[in-house]
Amino acid sequence: MKISIVVGVRPHLVKLSALWPVLSAAHDVQIVHTGQHFDHSLNGAFLQEFDLPAPHRQLSTGSGTHAQQVGTAMVQIESALAELRPELAVVIGDTNSSIAAALAAAKSGIPVAHVEAGMRSFDKALPEEINRLAIDAISTLHLCSTTRTRDQLVSEGHRDSVEFVGDLLLDVCLRQQPAALAALARFNSAIPGLAESALVTFHRGATLKDPRLLTEVVEGLLGLDRPLVCVLHPAARRALEDGGLLDRLGHRTVAMLDPLGHTELLALLSGVDRVYTDSSGVQREALFVGTPCFVLRDSTEFRETVELGSGRLVGTDRRRIAASGGDVLSMPSREEVRDYFGGGGAAERIVKAIGALSR
């Protein structure tokens, strides 16, 4: 089968690294990159780290409002799909690239397979929630990371198109574990007090674009009374600088790092006492490596963080964040977590589910 996988942000590339070798061995697969978050120093490093080929079509949708991003991406993706003529389009997650690809494919008469289908925060104020609902509404095949997300889709009427396949991110974490342990040894030597520190990473536009919320988050983190290790996306660093908060955050920070490779990030996650993040991917990775996670949001589509007891929603209120500094969470066993998310082998199950479409 001829398949186009549409990606646009770095987390897509992480998950693609697990899927690409298996899927491309069974089918004729092309990668289309929308350019939603294209930066050679970031995306290029990810392609190299995971031995992924350069995209077969590199688009340039760029930034802008949500409508501008989706509209521009749809036009360019439609053109790319017309040239590539795939029999199936695969989209991952809930980004503007994902919804643009799903819409462009569906309107071109191309079936859509959605990886990470069925995730719900039940908060329609979040743009990603609208994307998730719309992608699932038009997808032909729903590939679910957990039985909970599968059951959610069944409750929405998608009974005949859902498959529980497990989580590609777990596949990646299991594969990268030996390299992450080696990287952790280097971090332990370079960062004093790492085991007592809190890892901090946030990037959501709702926080970065609101000076009041950003101040609340920073003041809450400073109230944790423990050293901080901050990994800052360029947008987060700019927002902190513009708000006069970067130096203030630095007073409690033992290491302020630029974006890391995925293996290095896993290493840090494995070595710290806890993590504060607004990223769904980091929430999952924290769960997979057994590190308590405090979510800088009031809702999450990755509800397993809370349901399995491995995390807590602390929002963007300084008092809630600071008060969580001494909280001790009862973490589930790694065996329980791995079973819950398919135990590895998600890529193989995805290929099997896609293969069934062509029969």
Same fold, 2-166+344-357 and 176-340: yes
The pLDDT-based confidence of 270 (bands split at 50, 70, 90) is: very high
- Whole-number Å distance between alpha carbons of 292 and 174: 18
How do the domains of the chain map onto residue ranges?
Answer: 2-166+344-357, 176-340
**Residue owning tokens 């690409």:** 20
Asked if residue 86 lies in contact with residue 108, where contact means CB atoms within 8 angstroms, the answer is: no
Pairing assessment for the beta strands 311-313 and 293-295 based on DSSP bridges:
parallel
Active site residues: 203
Above 60 in pLDDT, residue 103? yes
CB count in 10 Å sphere of residue 209: 11
Q: 3 in helix, strand or coil?
A: strand
335 alpha carbon, distance to own chain's centre: 22
- Whole-number Å distance between alpha carbons of 142 and 81: 21
Residues shown for the chain? 359
CB count in 10 Å sphere of residue 212: 10
The pLDDT-based confidence of 313 (bands split at 50, 70, 90) is: very high
pLDDT of 63: 80
- Rounded average pLDDT over 243-253: 91
Amino acid at residue number 80: A
User: Could you tell me how many helices (H) and strands (E) the chain has, helices first?
Assistant: 17, 13
Above 80 in pLDDT, residue 359? no
Amino acid at residue number 85: R
| Short-list 258, 262, 259, 231, CA closest to 48 | 262
Above 60 in pLDDT, residue 348? yes
Residue 30 backbone dihedrals phi, psi, to 5 degrees: -120, 145
Above 80 in pLDDT, residue 11? yes
113-122, pLDDT tens digit by residue?
Answer: 999 999 999 9
Residues whose CB is less than 8 angstroms from the CB of residue 251 and which lie 6 or more positions away in sequence, other chains included: 222
49 or 106: which carries more pLDDT confidence? Answer: 106
CB count in 10 Å sphere of residue 238: 13
Above 80 in pLDDT, residue 273? yes
Asked if residue 141 lies in contact with residue 111, where contact means CB atoms within 8 angstroms, the answer is: yes
141-189, pLDDT tens digit by residue?
Answer: 999 999 999 999 999 999 999 999 999 999 999 999 999 999 999 999 9
Q: What is the mean pLDDT of the chain?
A: 95
- Rounded average pLDDT over 79-83: 98
Q: 158 in helix, strand or coil?
A: coil
Above 60 in pLDDT, residue 47? yes
The fold for domain 176-340 equals Rossmann fold (3.40.50)
The pLDDT-based confidence of 44 (bands split at 50, 70, 90) is: low
- What does 163-197 look like in DSSP terms, one character per residue? EE---HHHHHHHHHHHHHHHHHHHHHHHSTTGGG-
pLDDT of 42: 57
pLDDT of 41: 52
Domain 2-166+344-357 homologous superfamily, CATH: Glycogen Phosphorylase B; (3.40.50.2000)
**Percent of the chain clearing pLDDT 70 (strictly above):** 97
Nearest-10 crossing angle of helices 127-138, 96-107:
30
pLDDT of 38: 59
pLDDT of 358: 74
Asked if residue 188 lies in contact with residue 268, where contact means CB atoms within 8 angstroms, the answer is: no
Radius of gyration of the chain measured on its C-alpha atoms: 20
Pick the range with the lowest mean pLDDT from 42-46, 86-90, 302-306.
42-46
184-225, pLDDT tens digit by residue?
Answer: 999 999 999 999 999 999 999 899 999 999 999 999 999 998
